[in-house]
Chain A
Amino acid sequence: GESVGLHLPTLSVQEGDNSIINCAYSNSASDYFIWYKQESGKGPQFIIDIRSNMDKRQGQRVTVLLNKTVKHLSLQIAATQPGDSAVYFCAERDPGNTPLVFGKGTRLSVIA
């Protein structure tokens, strides 16, 4: 499959453990944040999003935490499965109707 990032930070997690992927964002004016998952050879797929008036949002097996004080976003994946192996991207958007700005991504590797 296509390699989407040869020099990305990598997180290795045992199957069944929880994963935490971190993202530092740069624009203190950003009011919308989103996480994507990209499997090898495929386009990015939406996981979960959060607006700046919230500090936590939960989905199915995933939780996003937002700390605006330190401009930090994290994605928590519960009971990590082999199918979770992928590159994960965070993105931010400011209120000025500008496009999303993507981070460089983190590769999650699940050890069976």
Chain B
Amino acid sequence: NAGVTQTPKFRVLKTGQSMTLLCAQDMNHEYMYWYRQDPGMGLRLIHYSVGEGTTAKGEVPDGYNVSRLKKQNFLLGLESAAPSQTSVYFCASSRTGHEQYFGPGTRLTVT
């Protein structure tokens, strides 16, 4: 039982490049979330999903897209990366929408 895993752990992108972050959970959780964390800003919700095939916008969705084609996976896409998207990205999952379990994070730098 691996819990929540994130791929990759680190990535450096040039401005304008695209990439996809993968989140996987093996707990059969319905809810999944993508957050970004910047110094002094706490956790800010980007997008979330309340079940397979559903997605919804969070607090800071601009510049990101998501997909939840399979219940266990939640993908976060950056179509055209900008330096303002340099951050640490965390994925989380939850069975009921209450207690969330977090992954180890992806550290993204956009130059």
Contact = CB atoms under 8 A, between A and B. Distances in A.
A103 B98 contact: no
Q: Interface SS of chain A: helix, strand, loop or mixed? A: loop
Nearest to B37: A4
Given A43-B104, A44-B90, A5 B39 contact: yes
Contacts of B43: 44, 89, 102
Contacts of B45: 99
Interface string B11-52: 000000000000000000000010001011111110010100
B82 interface: no
Interface residues on chain A, size class: 20 to 34
Interface of B: 4, 33, 37, 39-45, 48, 50, 58, 88, 90, 92, 97-105, 107
Given A44-B43, A44-B90, A89-B42, 14 more contacts: A2-B105, A4-B88, A7-B40, A32-B98, A34-B98, A43-B4, A43-B103, A43-B105, A49-B99, A93-B97, A99-B45, A99-B48, A99-B58, A102-B44
